[in-house]
Chain A
């Protein structure tokens, strides 16, 4: 009986002491949440829009989206004295199953001014073959004979080709490689850093990132799916074009705090 009473008193004490600051509005530290939204030239894209040929790319090809998963890593805020706050080491976003679209940093961030950035894919140092159990479990790997490591993006769908047939495309972004195997040659890096600009954090904040999917097909290279639809992983020049086109894909959306 005595024990029970002590427990009760203790738990009341804990509850009171821990919940104290929750609705205090002059925060010292804030929770930061990232959300990834997707659009086709401004029209929102969610899993509900999958599987129907309804988008037209810059080259005039009509297409559908059936699968769209991609990796972002080193999602971080950097303050004026170059101190980095990593909100996520890496995060796999699967638009089709709606997994990973939103995440909150595990640690709170001191309020203040920051620049926001993330890496699309993995940088070479992080792109370690087989190193991430969750990504292995969901088969996001790139086989050794295609260079190893992980996909940066797996974007599959169908388009109507010049002979009016519905055909699959596999726009898979990986680290560009020639001569994969024991003596691989890496012509150029194909991960890239996305700089989202600056933010002044004064409270818990939610930051939206927008991916305009149409940009993957637009600039600087107008993507011709009839030429480049499948087997793009071993095609290092296609990978470099994806890298080029990727530069304009992401932008900062709404910030709420």
Chain B
């Protein structure tokens, strides 16, 4: 080990010696704007070493994110299904692709993605990084239904893009890898950490008695017991980003993680979503089956369905759940809504110009 370390040092010394005189254009490094509670409580975000954050890369990624040029008939951008005013998801149950085809999954909100430490994206975890995820919608026939050759050719012929790629990556030759790198950089800047509850933890705002009781319901193992999967006061992500079956169905039409791993014990498991910004992200669950938070809470309280893969944290499944009192339900909802970050959805940095 010692030997390896020393070799490493000598290699660095050697390469440093040879590069001295070379001067190359470097885009401007960008530091993510990390909320104080994230900084204090959880590990640093994941930025891949081959795609460092830069001012020019993020600006390009933002333009691409809102640009319908990425779709087959130039009618749809990423933002069509990931709109800023909906915390970067959409408000329909299934998303409408350019040909009017609907998938079977609810679009996902996009924020705090750099803190998904395992880097398993989408509901079933099949996309292994943000860069790789961004390849998919462009060519997906039920989404933007284009192909990368056409998209990159169009971008190359555009009057602005070649220059912007040059600024971001030092080359004006556009390829799909650079497009996805820029998109991923922009996506990593979508950070939400300024809700009433955050301000409460920072001692800047007081919660109502209802919100406080709702917080207790969320944390109480005998009532909500939501914290084992959806975070706690020391985990500001409000998700564990892990796959669970939370008792939606007795039999599965969508196998979720099971279809990705091929392991039947993963059937019906989906990634826990963050509970931030729920007021903007309805409908809920991987298939958008619940239109309201009341339906979600009723599900956990009395609607649980038994199946072999249901998570053991789901209690009293034979009775449908722990039967929360009406007051606890109302308060739990009030607490959930205190995780709303209005400044995130109106942040000018995240709007289309």
A51 to chain B: which residues have CB within 8 Å? 265, 309
- Chain B's closest residue to A158 (CB) is B312
| Residues of chain B at interface, number, CB under 8 A | 42
The reply on B234 being an interface residue by CB < 8 A is yes
Q: Check B221 against A233 for contact (C-beta < 8 Å).
A: yes
Q: Give the distance to chain A from B276, nearest Cβ to Cβ, in Å.
A: 15
- Which chain A residue lies CB-closest to B227? A143
User: Shortest Cβ distance from A32 into chain B, in angstroms?
Assistant: 14
A50 to B261, CA, bound (A): 15
Q: Are B232 and A141 closer than 8 Å at their CB atoms?
A: yes
Q: Does B311 contact A (CB under 8 A)?
A: yes
B234 surroundings in chain A (CB, below 8 A): 129-130, 136, 141
Contact in complex: A231, B315 (CB < 8 Å): yes
On whether A7 and B312 interact (CB within 8 A), knowing A137-B235, A145-B220, the answer reads no
B127: interface (CB < 8 Å): no
Q: At the interface, yes or no: A168 with Cβ under 8 Å from chain B?
A: yes
Chain A residues closer than 8 Å to B315, beta-carbon distance: 168, 230-231
Asked if A168 and B6 make an inter-chain contact with CB atoms under 8 angstroms apart, the answer reads: no
**Per a CB cutoff under 8 Å, which of B14, B221, B229, B235 touches A230?**
B221
Q: How far is the CA of A60 from the CA of B6 in the complex (A)?
A: 57
Question: Which residues of chain B are near A123, meaning CB under 8 Å?
Answer: none
CB pair A143 B232 closer than 8 Å:
yes
Of listed B231, B233, B309, residue having the most chain A CB within 10 A: B233
Q: Is B17 an interface residue (CB 8 A)?
A: yes
**Contact B221–A14 (Cβ < 8 Å):** no
Contact with A along B308-321 (1 / 0, CB 8 A): 11111111011000
B11 touches A11 (CB 8 A): yes
Chain-B contact segment, one of A15-23, A74-82, A207-215: A15-23
Interface size on A, residues (CB 8 A): 46
Render A137-179 as a binary contact track against B, CB cut-off 8 A, 1 for contact.
1110101111000000010111000000111111010000000
Minimum CB–CB distance from A188 to chain B (whole Å) comes to 20
Chain A residues whose C-beta falls within 8 Å of the C-beta of B14 in the assembled complex: 4, 7-8, 11
Are the C-beta atoms of A168 and B312 separated by less than 8 Å? yes
Chain B: minimal CB distance from A162 (Å):
12
Residues in A whose Cβ lies below 8 Å from that of B318: 165, 167
**Contacts A136-B234, A139-B240, A143-B232; A130 near B41 (Cβ below 8 A):** yes
Q: How far is the CA of A129 from the CA of B201 in the complex (A)?
A: 14
A235 to chain B, nearest CB (A): 9
Whether B42 sits at the interface, judged by CB under 8 Å, is yes
Please name the residue on chain A nearest to B265 by beta carbon. A51
A165-B265 Cα distance, complex, nearest whole Å: 18
**A-chain residues with CB within 8 Å of residue B222 when the two chains form the complex:** 231, 234
For A22, list chain B residues within 8 Å (CB): 3
A137-B117 contact, Cβ under 8 Å, with A14-B7, A143-B219, A168-B312: yes
Identify the closest chain B residue to A52 (Cβ): B265
Cα A136 to Cα B234 in complex, Å, equals: 6
Bound: A122/B316 CA distance, A: 31
Query: Contacting B3 at CB < 8 Å: which of A18, A143, A145, A165?
Result: A18
B231 surroundings in chain A (CB, below 8 A): 139
Indicate if the CB atoms of A166 and B308 lie closer than 8 Å: yes
CA–CA, A132 and B299, complex, Å: 33
Contact, CB under 8 Å: B221 / A10: no
A10 B13 Cβ-Cβ under 8 A: yes
- Which residue on A lies nearest to B217, using beta carbons? A145
Q: In chain A, residues 94-118, which have Cβ atoms closer than 8 Å to a Cβ of chain B?
A: none
- CA distance in complex: A67, B313 (Å): 10
Question: Other than the known A4-B17, A145-B220, what 4 A-B pairs have Cβ atoms closer than 8 Å?
Answer: A66-B311, A137-B43, A139-B235, A231-B315
Q: List 26 A-B contacts (CB under 8 A).
A: A10-B13, A11-B11, A14-B7, A15-B7, A67-B312, A133-B41, A139-B227, A139-B231, A139-B232, A139-B235, A139-B240, A143-B219, A146-B219, A146-B221, A154-B228, A157-B312, A165-B318, A166-B308, A168-B310, A168-B312, A168-B313, A169-B312, A170-B221, A231-B222, A234-B220, A234-B221
Give 9 closest A-B pairs by Cβ, nearest first: A168-B312, A11-B10, A143-B219, A130-B234, A51-B265, A7-B14, A156-B312, A3-B17, A136-B234
